[in-house]
């Protein structure tokens, strides 16, 4: 964060938290997730300021049942910082590991190495953390199925409580995107990507990690409340530059980068650049394509309670179509992806978008 106005930014976020909670009060806070980059690059003094703001505006009087997660890069955290986070109420850590192959880490521009992961998790345990999640990526350039198997074996040896594992997404205007367009990016075949996903699911199941969402696996009781907030289509605050919120039926986007964000806060007390009410038909679509990411699927009863409509009256044609393709399972209580449907999730989700 060298050269960045860090203290001023933390002050702006303090103002946003205060004003947002006053404008959109909450009755219960179940999860706080600090991410969107690497917040642990803050100094100890800056972390203390930031944690104080969170406690002042967002955390209820009791921490009971609150999931409080900090995202971090392996190697960023000292024991002192970890103890500071623990004392500040943080009870869950999420590390962007990606892979345990050092050559692959270098090729995708990551600065940490596998030894950093081992050391950081050991420090986290010393500091008293009992809920640790690792993020993995597969289908990386030049990655083989054997490479990914080795990463999974090493990851499991660390005995953490939660894993998120996603296939690589090539974003426009990135180095990988430009290389892909030039034909110089050696990505695994679709067959090998599918083989990696199958290996992931089989390996996690054999090691007692429950798959509760397409890309997420947890020991019993360690499912991420933060992730489930999105997939249950529930509302949430988004604080900081470029953050997004879903509040009182409205999608709200914040200004970014940091200087634009701070200017908006100074002018109006809010950083909002876009506020869009979400019509009911879009909320129903979101209920389907977000909820279907969960292995438990979409509850028919919950859908009816939430929208006052029977799910089959709204989406019956699409549900039957996807069921006939072998991608959806329709039970008396839920609609959920089949095993085959997990591989073709995006195709299924697309079937429920823009219908009404």
Domain check: are 35 and 110 in the same one?
yes
Alpha-carbon span 314 to 311, nearest angstrom: 5
pLDDT, residue 3, reads 58
What integer best gives the mean pLDDT of the chain? Answer: 92
Provide the domain count of the chain.
Answer: 3
pLDDT, residue 165, reads 98
Domain check: are 93 and 217 in the same one?
yes
pLDDT, residue 134, reads 98
Mean local confidence (pLDDT), 274-299 = 96
pLDDT over 60 at 184, yes or no:
yes
pLDDT, residue 176, reads 63
Mean local confidence (pLDDT), 50-54 = 95
pLDDT, residue 75, reads 86
Please state the separation of Cα 105 from the chain's center in Å: 21
pLDDT, residue 28, reads 81
Domain check: are 212 and 261 in the same one?
no
Alpha-carbon span 286 to 300, nearest angstrom: 14
Domain check: are 328 and 292 in the same one?
yes
Domain check: are 161 and 272 in the same one?
no
Domain holding 258, by residue range, is 244-277
On whether the pTM is more than 0.85, the answer is: yes
Domain boundary at 202, 231, 260, which? 231
Domain check: are 176 and 134 in the same one?
yes
Q: Considering only CA atoms, which of 161, 165, 160, 159 is closest in space to residue 202?
A: 165
* 5 in a structural domain: no
What would the pLDDT profile of 296-355 be if each residue is shown by its tens digit? 999 999 999 999 999 999 999 999 999 999 999 999 999 999 999 999 999 999 999 876
What would the pLDDT profile of 194-242 be if each residue is shown by its tens digit? 999 999 999 999 999 999 999 999 999 999 999 999 999 999 999 999 9
DSSP E strands, 99-220: 132-138, 162-167, 210-213, 216-218
What's the DSSP call for residue 171?
Answer: -
Domain check: are 178 and 310 in the same one?
no
pLDDT, residue 278, reads 96
Domain check: are 140 and 190 in the same one?
yes
User: Domain containing 218 — which CATH number?
Assistant: 3.30.750.200
Domain check: are 310 and 255 in the same one?
no
pLDDT, residue 61, reads 66
User: Would you say 85 and 47 are in contact if contact means Cβ atoms under 8 Å apart?
Assistant: yes
* 36 in a structural domain: yes
* 199 in a structural domain: yes
Give the other-Cβ count within 10 Å of 247's Cβ. Answer: 16
pLDDT, residue 248, reads 94
* 34 in a structural domain: yes
Domain check: are 225 and 319 in the same one?
no
Domain boundary at 193, 209, 231, which? 231
What would the pLDDT profile of 149-172 be if each residue is shown by its tens digit? 999 999 999 999 999 999 987 767
Using pLDDT thresholds of 50, 70 and 90, give the confidence band for residue 174: low
318 compared with 27, residue with greater pLDDT: 318
What would the pLDDT profile of 95-142 be if each residue is shown by its tens digit? 999 999 999 999 888 889 999 999 999 999 999 999 999 999 999 999
What the block records as the tokens of 355 is 């219908």
Phi–psi pair at 219, nearest 5 degrees: -65, 155
3-state secondary structure 9-60: HHHHHHHHHHHHHHHCCCCCCCEEEECCCCHHHCCHHHHHHHHHHHHHHCCC
146 compared with 176, residue with greater pLDDT: 146
* 89 in a structural domain: yes
Domain check: are 223 and 327 in the same one?
no
């Amino acid at each position: 964060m060298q050269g960045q106005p860090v203290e001023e930014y933390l002050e702006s976020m303090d103002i946003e938290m205060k004003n947002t909670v006053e404008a959109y009060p909450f009755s219960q806070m179940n999860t706080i997730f600090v991410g969107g980059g690497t917040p642990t690059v803050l100094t100890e003094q800056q972390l203390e300021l930031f944690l104080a703001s969170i406690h002042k505006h967002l955390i209820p009087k009791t921490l009971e049942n609150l999931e409080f997660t900090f995202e971090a890069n392996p190697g960023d955290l000292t024991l002192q910082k970890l103890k500071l986070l623990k004392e500040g109420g943080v009870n869950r850590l999420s590390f962007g590991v990606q892979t345990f192959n050092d050559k692959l880490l270098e090729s995708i521009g990551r600065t940490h190495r596998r030894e950093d992961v081992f050391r950081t998790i050991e420090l986290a345990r010393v500091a008293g953390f009992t809920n640790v999640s690792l993020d993995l990526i597969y289908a990386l350039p030049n990655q083989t199925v054997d490479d990914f198997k080795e990463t999974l074996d090493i990851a499991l040896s660390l005995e953490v409580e939660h894993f998120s594992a996603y296939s690589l997404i090539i974003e426009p205007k990135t180095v990988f995107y430009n290389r892909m367009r030039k034909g110089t990016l050696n990505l695994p075949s679709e067959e090998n990507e599918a083989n990696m996903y199958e290996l992931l699911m089989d390996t996690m199941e054999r090691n007692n990690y429950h798959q509760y969402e397409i890309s997420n696996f947890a020991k019993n009781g360690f499912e991420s409340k933060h992730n489930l907030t999105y997939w249950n289509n529930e509302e949430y605050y988004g604080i900081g530059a470029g953050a997004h919120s879903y509040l009182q039926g409205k999608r709200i986007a914040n200004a970014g980068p940091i200087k634009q964000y701070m200017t908006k806060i100074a002018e109006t007390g809010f950083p909002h650049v876009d506020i869009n009410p979400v019509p009911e038909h879009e909320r129903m679509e979101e209920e389907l394509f977000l909820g279907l990411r969960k292995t438990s699927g979409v509850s028919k009863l919950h859908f009816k309670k939430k929208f006052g409509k029977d799910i089959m009256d709204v989406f019956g044609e699409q549900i039957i179509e996807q069921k006939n393709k072998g991608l959806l399972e329709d039970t008396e209580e839920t609609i959920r992806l089949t095993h085959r449907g997990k591989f073709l999730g995006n195709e299924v989700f697309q079937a429920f978008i823009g219908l009404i």
